[in-house]
Each structure stands twice: as C-alpha cells, then as structure tokens.
Structure 1
Amino acid sequence: MADTRLIHGRYRLLDLIGRGGMGEVWAARDESLERRVAVKLLKPLAPGHEESFTRVLRERFRREARVAAALQHRGVTVVHDFGEYEGGLYLVMELLDGRNLSQLLDDNRQRPLAVEDVVDIAEQVAAALDYTHQQGIVHRDLKPANIMRLTDATVKICDFGIARLGADIGFTSRLTGTGVAMGTPHYMSPEQIAGAEVDHRSDLYSLGCVLYELATGAPPFDLDDAWAVLVGHRDTVPRPPREHRAELPGFLDRVVLDLLAKEPDQRPDDAGELGRRLAAGRAAAGRPGGPVPRAARRTPRLPSWTEGMTTGHKATRAFSPAIDPDPTAGLTGEWTAPPADPYRAGGASASREAERAAPTAKALAALDSRHGAGLSLGRLGRWAEAGEVHRAVAAERAHLLGPDHPDTLASRYEMGFTLSRTGRAADALREFGKVAEGRARSLGPDHPETLDARQETAYVLGRLGRHFEAHQVYVAVLAARERTQGPEDPDTLRCRHNLAFNLSRLGRLEESCAMAQDVAAARARVLGPGHPETLVTQYEVAYALGLLGRWVEALAAYREVARGRAVALGRDHPDTLAARYEIGISLGRLGRSPEALELYRELVADRLRVSGPEDPETLRARHGLGVNLGRLARWEEALKEAREVCALRIRVLGPEHLDTLVSRREVAVGLGWLGRWPEALDVYRKVAEARERVLGADHPDALASRNDEANCLEQLGRGPEAVELYRKVAALRRSGHH
C-alpha cells in the first residue's frame, strides 16, 4: 500500500506500524483536523458469505465501533471514527507513543518486568476495566498485545468492542482439527474455552494470565501445543508465580492466583475490588508504586464532542408502534434513498390519506433505522452527511405520518442541529422555529421537547450575534422549565448555563458570573462534582471571573477544572489541556510569569507528545511560552520562539489566519524591544494591512495594529507621520462607534 493512500479524502496513511491477525495499523494524518492518528485497516470480509450475512456483519461492526467510540477513560484508547473503504473496514484511533506489553517483554528478552512496574500496570488496567465493566462492556480478548504502556507510563487498553468481531468476520486463527475459534489461547478463560456465556470475570482471568507473564516472564501454561494450553486453562491449577520468582511479594502472588481461579465465582467480584486489593497490598508492602487511579464514577460521562451542545430529550415517538427494527436496515447506500413504496398504486386521491392512516411497520422501522444512522454520523462529527440523512427521513416521515407528528419533528430538529454545526446558523434558526411551532401544536407549549426546540432557537440567535433576542427566549424557556420540570432538572440547568453564557455576551458580567456559580453548584449536586457538564460550567465561571479582572479567583477555578478533568477524562484529554492553558493565562495576568513559563514548557511537551508539532493547540501553547519569555525580558529567546511559531502557523493555518497574525505581531513586539525598529515597523504595517483585509478597517484589532504602527513611527523619530496615523485611527473609532 503506497504511503500516499488517502481514505475518504481525509486520512492519509503514512507509516505501517503494525500487522496482525485482524489487519494492519498505520500511523496517519487526519487532513481535516490536522492531527496525527492511528488507522487500523481490518482484513477484507471472508469470501464465500452471502450478501445478507455480510450486511449483518457490517452493521455489527458499526455497532461495536460506536460502543468503542463512546468510551471515555484515560485507560482506554480513544476511537475517533470508523467506516468502510474499498470493501474493507477501518477504525481511526488516537496515535499512542509507547510499546504494548508484548513488545516490552520482547525488549526485556522475555525476562519479567520490575515488580513496581507489574503492580503499576495491574492497578491501571484494573481501573480501566472497572470503568468499562460499569458500562456493561466486556473486552473478551485481553492480552499483552492489546495493552499499551505509553512513554509517560500511562497504560491503555486497546480494541474494546472490536476484537470480538474476529470470529464472526473470519479474522481469527483456528486450532487445527479442533474447530475452536480463538485468537491467542494463552489468555483465554475456562468459560471462553467451553463456549459458555462470559461476563466481566472472564476479563479478570485474562488479566491474571497477563500479570503472571509480566511477573514471571512466561504465561501460566507455557506449552507449544495450543490444545494442551486450553486443557491447562480448563483443568490444571497453575504453579504460584513465586515458585518462578521468589522476590515477588505475597500479595501479588495471591492476587494473581485468585484471578486465575477456574470458577468465575472464586475470582474477585469486580475490577474495583481488584484495584483496592492491589493498592492495599502495595501500601502494606511499603512499595512506592504509582498513584492509584481513582475508581471510575458511576455518573454517566459525556465525550468531549458534547461540550456546548444544548439538546434535551429526543422525540418519544408517541404515535409510532413498538417495532423491533430489522438489524440489516439502514446500512450504507440505503440511508438517504427513500424506501420502496409499500402501497399499491391507485388513484391520486387514494393515496396520501390512506398511506398516512396505515404506514407499514417495515416502513417505519426503516425510517427509525435511518434516523439512528444520522444520529451516529453526528456523534462522529460528520455533520454534513448527518444533515442529508435527516433531511431525507424528515421528508419521508412528513409524507407517511404528517408534518406535525413527533417523529417528523424529531427529524427536522436534527436537521436544525446539523445546520447549526455546519455554520448555517440562519437556516438552523428557521428550522428550529418551525419545529417549535409544530411541537407547540402537537405536544403543547410547555412540553419538554417544545422547550428543547425553543432553547435551540435561542442558542442559534446567540451564534448570530443577536444576544438580546436570545436572552428573551432563554428567560421564557427557563421559566417554563422551572415550572414544569423543577429548578434542578438537568435540562433546566442546561438552560441556565446557556443563559449565563449569553449574559456575558451582553456585557452583564456580574450577573453572568453569579448565575454560572449557581449552576455549577447545582450540577455538582445533581450530576456529581466530576461530571463533564459540571466542569464545563466551572470553566464558564473561571472565564467570567477573568473578564471581571478577578484573576486570583479565576486561577483557582481553572485549577479546579483541570484537576477534575484529569480525573474524569485523563491528563492528556484535550479538555484537560485546554484548562491548563487557561491556568497559564491567569498566571501571566497576575504577573507570575516564571510560573506561567514553567507551566507552558510542560504543556508544550504534552501537546507535542499528544498532538504533534503542527497541531494548532501545540502552537497556541508555544505562543504562550514565547509571550512569557518576553515578560521576563528574555527577548532574544522570545523572538526566536515567535518566529518559529509564526512560520508553522503560516504553513498550517495560512498567512492571514487570525492566529498567524497574532504571532506576526509578537515578532514585531520582540524586534521593538530589541531596538530593531525599522524591521518592527515593516512587520506591524503588514499585520495592520492583513487585519484590515480580513476584519475590516474599523475592527478593534485592525485599529490596534495601526496604533502599533504609529508608535513604531514615533520610536523612529517620524513624529508627523505618527500623528497623522493616530488621527486616522481616532476618526475610524468614532465612525465605527468603537
């Protein structure tokens, strides 16, 4: 496969980094988001299957991939996207910098790992399994090759929800002459071997096999014959690990043997108990170890793409019959095509009324499936495709069910949402307005779904800069929600959060800050202090405090958000890193530039590791580092940093992107402080001209750049030119009311 291979015009394959039974893994570049990712290309579907069978398998792949994409835990590899390309299936995941445990053992020449490392890995894997098992998800193929240890010692489990597809699609090897489908027999639980139902305790057995190998250098049943390995799992009590390695602590020996119990009931009850036993044993043994990951909270976690969304409940389909949809309906190629007409041809009048009176269960099931497909595309950020699906389904539902049916309005609601997400705010506003009117007629003006549509109307008004109108709608919706749903219903709190945000855009900063603080406290009570929605509101509190100049309080609030996000989402999650960036801004505003500089150095290192050198957020962190070098009068270093960031932003973002222009101005600032005023004047002038082209001559940033230029002229002794330029700026400010 050539290194120029481009999947769906988005994912460019760069380097082959792995090949196994399920396919290949490539380091790749996401051309849309400008970030490095890993792409797993699964082997083509096994030949000889009927089309109906392969269609079901493709649907199972989509379903399992959605499960994997919904997992949000620092110990689970993030799945960004998935799909089908040239007859094969693919997954797009975060690109991890590290080695899997099988590679670590190979690097160590199959000698066991240090005891501290074994315990640390065990605790991190236990925390990740505790989270996924609470979501009702069992891995089923836990083995050293599916567990990664990153360069910062973070441990992540790979292939959740995907490995189990192997047997169905034909990826797994089979034992010669046995007919037992399997991957690697060394890590299979006795119940898996027997073909019985498995639950979370099967994963615990597999983890016991992994830990046995890490601690001793070999799996518990290290035999050449695969069938003998399976018999060992089923019938043989393993030798205690300490018989292979006497230095192992007793608690670790006991834990591993308990995990390897033949009967699931004899193993630890769950991964949470396992984590507690490991932590207690490490503490009692006096081993330092790494920090014990906090057990995952039972409050539902939302992925980062939900931040800022304002949707409430979807339509309840009150008029639709209860149907079990066809699992093969709604696959690629059918989503936007209208279903076959299920009615006999007749006269023009026979028609629509009869069709609406008795739409078939099959037709409704197909529409439900296509609606769900549109929602899934939206969750993946593929908003334009999602919009086309919802548009087609809305038209079909209006035809079959009527324009004011809740299902029809649900599809139109989702159309509005996709229009908003693709930058078509005015179109979204019209769509949400029509949905609100239709729901008021069919469901009532205070029904939660009617209020959802009205709330989205307010949100889009804000996006259009019509903040006063948005404020009026938010106030009315909030009053209705408090009256009908209660003051601490999650939808009520979401409305109050949006109202607080809109107040800040109206300049009513004190009110905005006070309301955001109230919402944050209420969300902490209702959802938990570590829930992403609680942390989003706390972030808004910090932002409002900064606008009010209350930087000491803003700094404390941003630090609280960063700590919460590190626990809930992981230290390297984009939302966690964003909060750390704002901590640096706050430190700088407080004149604590040495601390800010140290923070930005660490943040740059983390961004480079997580996102790469050309990611816009990496460049933003480097910009902050350069600004603080300047504040510490280290101008040669600041100028060098500003030039490097500017060059990268020109290549990545374009020469007239607003962030690029900020970097170019920073170059001019450095030149000025070094006394190189002629060079500074040239850069200031080019920044001003570019801002006028992009933003308009009377925009505040363009005017600020002209003031920079005038100040530079003064420094060069060209006073009359400077005075004339100052006058032009003042006139533009007056004419533009700035």
Structure 2
Amino acid sequence: MADTRLIQGRYRLLDLIGRGGMGEVWRARDESLGRRVAVKCLKPLSPGHDQSFTRVLRERFRREARVAAALQHRGVTVVHDFGEHDGVLYLVMELLEGRNLSQVLEDNKHHPLPVTDILDIAEQVAAALAYTHEQGIVHRDLKPANIMRLTDGSVKICDFGIARLGHDIGFTSRLTGTGIAMGTPHYMSPEQIGGEGVDQRSDLYSFGCVLYELATGAPPFDLDDAWAVLVGHRDTQPEPPRTHRAELPEYVEELILGLLAKEPDERPRDARELARSIAAGRSGATYVPTVVTPPVTGAGAAPPQAGADDAPLRPPAERPEQPASREPRLPSWTRGMTTGHKASAAASLRTTPPDAAAGLTGEWIPRSDARRPAEPVQPDRPTPPPEVLAALVSRHNAGLSLGRLGRWEEAGEVHRAVAAEREHLLGPDHPDTLASFYEVGFTLSRTGRAADALRQYERVAQGRARTMGDGHPDTLAARQETAYVLGQLGRHFEAHQVYTAVLAQRERAMGSDHPDTLRCRHNLAFNLGRLGRLEDSYRMAQQVATGRARVLGATHPDTLVTRYEVAYALGQLGRWPEALQTYREVADARAQALGPDHPDTLAARYEVGISLGRLGRSAEALTLYRDLVDDRTRVHGPAHPETLRARHGLGVNLGRLGRWEEALAEARDVCTIRERILGPDHPDTLVSHREVAVGLGWLGRWADALTEYRRVAAARERVLGADHPDALASRNDEAHCLEQLGRSTEAVELYRRVAALRQRAGGHS
C-alpha cells in the first residue's frame, strides 16, 4: 500500500497522520476531484494468520464503511468512499483540521478544560448523537480519541468502527464472539461490560465518562488495572466531579452524574434530552430531567493540590471493591484485558487473548532489532509457544520505536499490554516482564505522570534486585529512574540519596568514565541545583561535560545536554555573560548536529534570549525572540506552548525597552491563547496574567492591574495553597499595587499576612 502511494488510480497518499491498532490514516489527494482527503487503511495480516479471524476483521471494516457513509450530519465525520486495493481495505473520509479530545487533554497536561469549552463540546456531541441514534446507530466506542475539535471550534464524532445498527443484533453478536475488543475499558457502560444488549443510552454513559475527564482531568475510574476499571464501572459510584474541582458548577456535576447512572433507565432517555439539560444549565433555567440521578456515596478526600510539576488532578488509584453477590460476573472476554493511559490517540485497548491478534499489534513491517531473545521461562510455568514470545518481542520493539519518535502515549499503551501478557506467561520477576514494566515507567515519566512512574520503577527495582542482584546494571538503571521521578515530584533530598548510592555502585563496577556513570553524575548535578547547592551543581556539571566530551565527543547530544546544564547553573549563580556564551555554543552545536529546527536547538536559542535580557541587552533579545517565534510557528504552530513561551519572552523585552503599549498587547494576546489551550489555572496562563498586570501598572492603570494581580493570587492559592512561594509572591504584587493606589492600610495588612504565612511555612519545612 505505502509503496504504490496511489489507491485505485485515484487517491494519492501524501503523509501519515495517525496509526492505531486497526490500521493507519493518511493525508491524501483525490486526483479525480482535486481535493484533500483522509484515507484509513486496514493493516494487512500475515498469510499464516487464522482465516476466520481475518474474515471477521474484513467484515467489521466493511461494516464501518457502510454505516459511516450513511451518516450526513455536521457533527459526524463524512465518509466519501470505501473499497479494497491490492488486498488492503480502505476508507476515504473528509480531512479534518484540528485535535481530538485526547490530544486536547494531552496538550493541556491533563488539566481540566474551562467550563465553557466543556459545555460547548457537550452541546455539539449531544446533537450529533441525537442524529445518529435516530438513525438506529449506536457508536459503542465513544471516547476522547474519537471526538475531534476542529480549528474553527466545531466538534465531530469519528470512527464508527464498532457501531452497530440497532436492529441488526446477529452481526454484532458474531463479532463479540470472536473476542475482538468492543469498546475501551475507561469509557464502557456497565451493560456493555456485562455482555448485555446495548442501546443509545450506552453511548450516553460513555459520553458521561468523557465529560468527567474533561471536567476533572481524569476519567471516573482512573486505575491502571483493567479488571478494576471494569468492576468500577459496574459496581462503584463515581466520585462527584466537584470533589476534584470545587469550582465546577453544580449543574454540570449533576449532568455528568446523571449520564453515569449504573442503570440505563436512570440516565437521560436520549441525546435530545441531554441537549435540553445542557441548554437549560447554560441559560440558568431550571430543567428537571426525566431521570433520577443515583445517590453518590463514599465521597473521597479533598482534591489534591497541583504541584509545580503540573501534575494532573486525578482520583486516588484505589481498586474498587467487588461485591460477591453482584451478578452477572464480568464476561469471559474481559480476562487478560490490559489498560494504560486513558485519553490517548493510540489504538483501543485490546481484549483478545495474547496470541489472537499479533498480526495487528506489531509493526507493519516485521523488525528484528529485539533487545535480547526471550530468556527461559520459570520452571513452574508451561512454556509458551515460540511464536507467542516472538510476537511479544516484536511488539516490545514497536513500543520502543514509538518512544524514539516521541509518541509516548502510544508507546505506553503498547508496553502496558506487553507487560501484562509477559507477566501472565513468564511470571512477574522474569527479566522480560520487568523490562516491559520498566518501559511503562519510562513512558509515564515522559507524560507527566511521575507518581505512577515511581510505583512502576520501584516495582522493577525490587524485582531486579531479587533476581539479578543489587549491583546489576539493570537494577541500577531502575533505581536511577526512581531518583529521576522523585525529582519530578519535588522530592529532591530523597532523589539525592538514591543518586548518590547508585553513583557509588556504578563507579565501583563500571568506572568513572562509563556512559552510564556519567549519566548518573549528570542527574546528580541537576538535582544538586534543585537543592540550592548551586556551586556544587556547577562544578559537577562541568566535570560531567568534560568527561562526556572525552568519551562521546564534544558535539554528542549527551555532551550538549550537560553543557546546557552548565549554562543553567551559571545563570543561577548570576554569571550571565558566561551563561550566554555557553548557551550560544550549545545552540550552534545543536544546529549542526541535530538541525536548526530540532526542539533542543530551539530550546537553547530561547535560553540565549533569556540571558540577553538578564544582561540588559533587550534589543538583541527582541530580535532573537521575533525570529524564534517565526521558527516555532513554522515548526509547531501558532498555539503550541513553546511558540507562546517565545512570544511571552518577546513581550517581556518590549516592556524592558519601555514599549509598554506593545508589551501589553502581546501579553494579552498570549494570555488569551494560553487560557484557551492550557486552561485558566495553568502556570503559564497565570504568568501571562501577571505580565498583563505589569504592563497595566507601567501605564499607570493601577486599578486594572489590581484586578489581574488578585486573579493570579486567587488562582495560585486555589491550586498551590496559600503558603506556596508563588502564591505569596502574587499577594506581594497585590500589596504593592494597593500602595500605588494610595490604599496603604490594606497594603500593610496584606504584607503582614504574607509575612506570617512565610514564617509559618518556614517553620513547617
């Protein structure tokens, strides 16, 4: 398929825009009509694959095409054509410009979306569901990845891949009998889990799960064990959303909990009624639905406070109790189901037995770069067939490839599935099982889920210590990653202790110049800076940079990473001329080694701008930031967080040059986009609000500045706590503003309050 680039002499494939468990989606050109389209291709299966399984998959794909092509609504993706070319089934759809809700949540670091955005999405999806349900079609796999928000703000439901016609039960029963996944665990209705008949109210439940995640940052049962997730949907009342987000309007919580009723009869009758509920809530009218919202019991503790690492809000990862008397039991097809990160654009979580769908979960082109062959299975377990172990090796490598491409969410899904199957087949302490759980931890740490990553790494470190010994390189690697995520969590003293212990063992076993030893010392230097030991951090970073240049070369990416850290330490020490010189050298070297548009190159250029500004060379910084904004926009897009960060730097330097009207306009524009993209309480958004306040103050508009300063202070207190340093700094800004307005009594009182909070926080530290 990819080799020909042309399908049926009409659809020319241009570039890959998505990959899932069933196939790939390409941006393409319809040569006959001269328009851009999206083409979805089903992955080819190996010739030796079970033919009955192949027939079912082909039937399912054709079914998707016929069902989807019959739908004509502004809220549903338009299907233009479908067919088969050289043995590969394809579906031609309209090309959508935007992000699915999984990507929207990921872009927002899994912080809750603004209420207005949630309601706007809810209204549009309700209208689309009302239409599809009236056609007798149930989606059956409604989740964030299947709902697109386009650049113009409109919303579309995508992928009716497991939709069914309400009157055609026999076909769906045959599909379900194969064990193919019919839904995604975190968004499945209780009746779907129980294998019972489903209707449009099952989609409403799934949509309730989506809205819960948009409103709180996590789905209602945010657990890493699929069985526990399914039991939670079936037996456990979800925690009220306002438990995790107190400012959420009460009517939004009631609407979501109504959709999440366990019994279909207790949910809204249909999507039309849901739409009326949303409209009534937005208008402030009182709307009484025709359902009774089930009582909510067992509300949990107060919502967790987001820390400086922007950890998303999510419910405690506890396993729900499963009442022994509840029937029916979970159906047999759920056994062995694995799960991972929820809102992900990756493929649906697979529920088939480990060897049933190997042809769909590996690479399109088989790979042979396994890290190592599977090791002997523990003697008390039956030996799995070699082809099953080989398939798991291939899938493990596929996950590694996704990680190398920076597609961490998809990589995490693959590694979780492989880890669960290896644990079942090989045992929990088998080296291959532990290797998979190690990769799960790595993907979690790279997607901001440090607490979850810590649990995985601790598990791996303990297992490797038992089977390989404390000093084995693999054990040390797991312990080193444990230290890294402790640092992500702000637990820098604990991280320091782990790094120091691991470094001693690495130096003893491998020598001081081994790359792994140098990597550990680099991390230790970074952590020393976070402990405030700036001179120690600088000296160690310098030593590591010298060692890496000697062992790896002066332009090796690892060497440049350490030199970047040297520059950061110099800046922290106030040695800005040296920091500037080092950042420039790193930026030039990265441009040569990695390319001018590589994210690391652009990051170094940004730090050059910071250094110029700190040295009072704002005109040079302004020129640099203008160029950087252009390059970031070209590479990442105008609304990317890094593009906005460069624009923020531009605005700061406009202010330093006294061009406050321009600075204020830039700050307001960046603030508006950040609020929409990142959310109103995101740290970057609040920094922009403060910059707006600074500009207003310099222009003498102190009353307006006071409003902004108070907004920032209130948000930081709400998210971080009243005694957090950032919250206290914001209250100091507010007090200064009150002084400028001649309200000295209020200012003095606020200064005293801040001083008392600082003293109390210092006493607790």
TM class by smaller structure: 0.5 to 0.7
Q: Give the drift of 1:355.
A: 6.6
Q: Give the drift of 1:643.
A: 1.8
Q: Secondary structure at the match of 2:445?
A: helix
Q: How does 1:612-691 map to 2 (within 5 A)?
A: 612-691=637-716
Q: Give the drift of 1:387.
A: 3.8
Deviation readout 1:638-679 (Å, 9 max, x if unpaired):
222222222222222222222122112112211211222222
Change (3 A) 1:24 1:485: same
Letter aligned with residue 457 of structure 2: F
Letter aligned with residue 339 of structure 1: P
Q: Secondary structure at the match of 1:23?
A: strand
2:750 paired with 1:731: no
Question: How far apart are the structure 2 equivalents of 1:395 and 1:29?
Answer: 25
- Give the match for residue 354 of structure 2: 339
Whether the 8 Å CA contact 1:552–1:590 is kept in 2: the answer is yes
Letter aligned with residue 452 of structure 1: A
Q: Secondary structure at the match of 2:624?
A: helix
Deviation readout 1:428-478 (Å, 9 max, x if unpaired):
323322322332332232221121111112112222222222112111211
- Give the match for residue 523 of structure 1: 548
2:736 paired with 1:711: yes
After superposing the two structures, state which structure 1 stretch, 44-53 or 658-667, moved more.
44-53
Whether the 8 Å CA contact 2:567–2:583 is kept in 1: the answer is yes
- Give the match for residue 326 of structure 2: none
Letter aligned with residue 523 of structure 1: R
Which of 379, 393, 409 is the matching residue for 2:434? Answer: 409
Question: How far apart are the structure 2 equivalents of 1:604 and 1:86?
Answer: 42
Higher Rg of the two aligned structures: 1
- Give the match for residue 69 of structure 1: none
Letter aligned with residue 364 of structure 1: L
Which of 565, 568, 572 is the matching residue for 2:593? Answer: 568
Q: Give the drift of 1:572.
A: 1.8
Q: Give the drift of 1:629.
A: 1.3
Q: Give the drift of 1:382.
A: 4.5
Q: Give the drift of 1:334.
A: 10
Question: How far apart are the structure 1 equivalents of 2:635 and 2:433?
Answer: 42
2:523 paired with 1:498: yes
Q: Give the drift of 1:53.
A: 12
- Give the match for residue 553 of structure 1: 578
Question: How far apart are the structure 2 equivalents of 1:536 and 1:482?
Answer: 21
Which of 457, 476, 481 is the matching residue for 2:506? Answer: 481
Change (3 A) 1:660 1:339: closer
Which of 722, 742, 745 is the matching residue for 1:697? Answer: 722
Whether the 8 Å CA contact 2:510–2:517 is kept in 1: the answer is yes
- Give the match for residue 399 of structure 2: 374
- Give the match for residue 436 of structure 1: 461
Q: Secondary structure at the match of 2:381?
A: helix
Question: How far apart are the structure 2 equivalents of 1:724 and 1:567?
Answer: 56
Question: How far apart are the structure 1 equivalents of 2:26 and 2:698?
Answer: 44
- Give the match for residue 12 of structure 2: 23
Deviation readout 1:502-530 (Å, 9 max, x if unpaired):
11111111111111111112112222222
Letter aligned with residue 593 of structure 2: A
What is the count of residue pairs matched by the alignment? 441
Question: How far apart are the structure 1 equivalents of 2:549 and 2:670?
Answer: 39
- Give the match for residue 73 of structure 2: none
- Give the match for residue 532 of structure 1: 557
Question: How far apart are the structure 1 equivalents of 2:449 and 2:17?
Answer: 31
Deviation readout 1:274-331 (Å, 9 max, x if unpaired):
xxxxxxxxxxxxxxxxxxxxxxxxxxxxxxxxxxxxxxxxxxxxxxxxxxxxxxxxx9
- Give the match for residue 7 of structure 1: none
Question: How far apart are the structure 2 equivalents of 1:24 and 1:353?
Answer: 47
Whether the 8 Å CA contact 1:355–1:400 is kept in 2: the answer is no
Question: How far apart are the structure 2 equivalents of 1:645 and 1:375?
Answer: 36
Q: How does 1:78-227 map to 2 (within 5 A)?
A: 87=90
Change (3 A) 1:420 1:645: closer
Change (3 A) 1:497 1:643: same
Q: Give the drift of 1:373.
A: 3.0
List alignment gaps of at least 5 residues for structure 2: 1-6, 20-24, 29-37, 58-87, 99-345, 357-376
Letter aligned with residue 414 of structure 1: E
- Give the match for residue 607 of structure 2: 582
Q: Give the drift of 1:419.
A: 3.5
Whether the 8 Å CA contact 2:16–2:26 is kept in 1: the answer is yes
Q: Give the drift of 1:619.
A: 1.6
2:470 paired with 1:455: no
Q: Secondary structure at the match of 1:376?
A: helix
Q: Give the drift of 1:354.
A: 6.8
Deviation readout 1:224-256 (Å, 9 max, x if unpaired):
xxxxxxxxxxxxxxxxxxxxxxxxxxxxxxxxx
Letter aligned with residue 715 of structure 1: Q
Which of 468, 471, 475 is the matching residue for 1:446? Answer: 471
List alignment gaps of at least 5 residues for structure 1: 1-17, 31-36, 59-84, 96-330, 342-351
Change (3 A) 1:713 1:49: closer
Letter aligned with residue 437 of structure 1: Q
Q: Secondary structure at the match of 1:356?
A: coil
Q: Secondary structure at the match of 2:638?
A: coil
Deviation readout 1:73-103 (Å, 9 max, x if unpaired):
xxxxxxxxxxxx984699x9x99xxxxxxxx
Q: Give the drift of 1:569.
A: 1.5
Letter aligned with residue 466 of structure 2: R
Deviation readout 1:537-571 (Å, 9 max, x if unpaired):
11111111111111111111110110011111211
Deviation readout 1:696-726 (Å, 9 max, x if unpaired):
2222222222212211221121211211111
TM score, norm. by length of structure 2: 0.52
Identity of aligned residues (%): 70
- Give the match for residue 722 of structure 1: 747
Q: Give the drift of 1:496.
A: 1.0
Q: Secondary structure at the match of 2:471?
A: coil
Question: How far apart are the structure 2 equivalents of 1:377 and 1:489?
Answer: 27
Question: How far apart are the structure 2 equivalents of 1:48 and 1:450?
Answer: 38
Change (3 A) 1:665 1:441: closer
Question: How far apart are the structure 1 equivalents of 2:616 and 2:509?
Answer: 48
Question: How far apart are the structure 2 equivalents of 1:408 and 1:530?
Answer: 36
- Give the match for residue 466 of structure 1: 491
Change (3 A) 1:632 1:549: same
- Give the match for residue 245 of structure 1: none
Letter aligned with residue 353 of structure 2: P
Change (3 A) 1:587 1:382: closer
Q: Give the drift of 1:24.
A: 4.2
Q: Give the drift of 1:585.
A: 0.6
Q: Give the drift of 1:394.
A: 3.2
Q: Secondary structure at the match of 2:742?
A: coil
Whether the 8 Å CA contact 1:482–1:492 is kept in 2: the answer is yes
TM score, norm. by length of structure 1: 0.54
Q: Give the drift of 1:620.
A: 1.3
Change (3 A) 1:373 1:46: closer
Letter aligned with residue 509 of structure 1: L
RMSD over aligned CA atoms reads: 3.9
Change (3 A) 1:44 1:524: same
Question: How far apart are the structure 1 equivalents of 2:351 and 2:488?
Answer: 29
Letter aligned with residue 630 of structure 1: G
Question: How far apart are the structure 1 equivalents of 2:623 and 2:503?
Answer: 43
Change (3 A) 1:382 1:632: closer
